Copies of this chain bind each other. A is one copy, B any other.
């Protein structure tokens, strides 16, 4: 499954990884269907040439305003005039789990609000709609030129915070992000409308949304109904939406030109060789090992009983999805031919830089400095991970750390705070902090025990930080103690601590707050080393390399993905695999023939009951050549008329290397067909209120 982009549960190392992504290098122009294009730099000519379709500015604007971002790491689209948003089941899964309880499990049973009054608020979903893009490149580059690395980094962050603050003008309804494109080659200000009252309208059963489970994940052919519908509310009423995608009843047609709009989270196509080596030799294998162990642990945890299975299902699912994606990347990075190409391309660019005196003077040392910073990163990676990045798999700890840090950060001027505490980031932070989502002691203890154990294992029992944290206690003992006696499940208490600021936090004797306070000095100190000595060097040289790239190759290319709105084009098309042709479309009949009745190949009762009514030849899923990546989950697939013909929910196994490159012959995006969605809403779920709204 095309993974969500920033689910904390598996985003171990993600912070360090994001930084990697602020790095650099774009070496070749995009060719064929390759590319996740910004809306203000769409390759109209290439599309017109190949498909005889002219994407007008109006068309692009309509598409932009009909697209949606789910702040947690997914994409979506407006599909009615009344704020109806379509996204994947797996993008709404956290909400579905959070509104469930031990008596009613909507993950298993599915959810359908028969009346408007039945629509239930999702505790942590935020929907963003991109309403404006402004180029702020010169503003930022002027402010940061000629500074040394540390000052550069500080000034850059301050400048960004300032621009964002001015843009949102104090309104929590506006979200403004300065987006670093081309790793610093350009900066654009993205202005969003922000909606935090989002309610669940419809979700099918997990068994059909994720039919085939982990074995089928990232595979094709597929037979999944990975879709859900939400509704955005404003002042307790459905949001009026002027721009939305109309629904195609006939769905996707073979060979048809398709567009995907969405928010690809991150790609690493423009990274330097030393960045890629760090990923291949250090980061990815380490994560694969840690997360595989956690996977085994959670698999067995679920055998404690049905309730334990319910409360950990979403987390295990995220981990498995993450693992499969990482394995794909690891495979690509270990592909010798692929890596040799990357090395050759970088060599070529360096040569070109060195033959022009001006370029050489300005950018000649950038690659070397970048490699040295990566070496430093390697040396502190374990400490950075276990002191700062990792939240011990505990929601309570995340809350405690946010409260402890808010007390220190918020009194500072906006531009001196950690980025996650700047004014423009606060609404999202607060949504998590004051979320009513349930927290389960048993799972908290289990996760915390695991991560404390891994901390001791990776830092060694003799590390001063380990001694300080564990003392004479075992990880299990400490986790039990802290989780059980903490009162942070009480949302009112979180408000009190947040509003009370440093005095209240200092005075708090809550066990989890105390733990977060104990850790914070060490965590801040390693983060400072990272930001001052590594991140700053990586960022500054990334910008240099980006500029050198523009100078050598020109600017008609697309930037690495940044979890901001992009559009890709392609067509519905099969591919060859192990000597046979994989057809691009699947049907309901295929789903029934794959059904074994046993998890994860067990169709839900509702399908079995409705079998006679369903048009078995209706299309269920399809694949296309659109270039996508994690974060594109929930993206609409639209045709030339800007009608929804499907919804992206996955890529095939060959697309997993998509982080580093795109191969049109086999990379495929995988989507649910709009016709299949309609068929199931009609015949299986009897969701007439919803289907009439779509039609």
Chain A interface residues toward B at CB < 8 A? 212, 214-216, 219, 281-282, 285, 288-290, 292-301, 323, 327, 330, 334, 446, 450, 456-457, 460-461, 472-474, 477, 596-599, 601
Contact = CB atoms under 8 A, between A and B. Distances in A.
B289 A300 contact: no
Given A215-B457, A215-B460, A460-B219, A472 B293 contact: no
Nearest to A299: B297
A330 B289 CA distance: 12
A323 B457 CA distance: 12
**How many copies of the polypeptide does the oligomer hold?**
2
A460 B601 CA distance: 13
Nearest to A599: B474
A456 to B, nearest CB: 5
A216 B601 CA distance: 43
| Ranked 6 nearest A-B pairs via Cβ | A296-B296, A296-B297, A300-B300, A293-B296, A292-B292, A292-B293
A652 to B, nearest CB: 12
Given A288-B288, A289-B323, 10 more contacts: A212-B461, A289-B292, A292-B292, A293-B295, A297-B299, A461-B601, A472-B596, A472-B597, A472-B598, A474-B598
12 contacts: A214-B457, A215-B461, A219-B460, A289-B327, A292-B293, A293-B296, A296-B296, A297-B297, A297-B299, A300-B446, A474-B599, A477-B598
A297 B446 CA distance: 13
Contacts of A295: 293, 296
A343 to B, nearest CB: 13
Interface centre among A219, A285, A599 (most CB of B within 10 A): A285
Interface centre among A212, A289, A298 (most CB of B within 10 A): A289
Contacts of A327: 289
Nearest to A300: B300
A327 B28 CA distance: 36
B461 A216 contact: yes
A275 to B, nearest CB: 15
A656 to B, nearest CB: 14
A288 to B, nearest CB: 5
A675 B301 CA distance: 45
Contacts of A301: 300
Nearest to A466: B215
Contact of A293 (B219, B293, B456): B293
Contacts of A299: 293, 296-297, 300
A214 B474 CA distance: 13
A150 to B, nearest CB: 26
Contacts of A460: 215, 219
A330 B282 CA distance: 10
Contacts of A601: 461
Nearest to A213: B461
Contacts of A215: 456-457, 460-461
A123 to B, nearest CB: 28
A597 to B, nearest CB: 7
B330 A285 contact: yes
A446 B474 CA distance: 27
Contacts of A472: 596-598
A569 to B, nearest CB: 30
Nearest to A288: B289
Contacts of A446: 300
A281 B596 contact: no
A281 B334 contact: yes
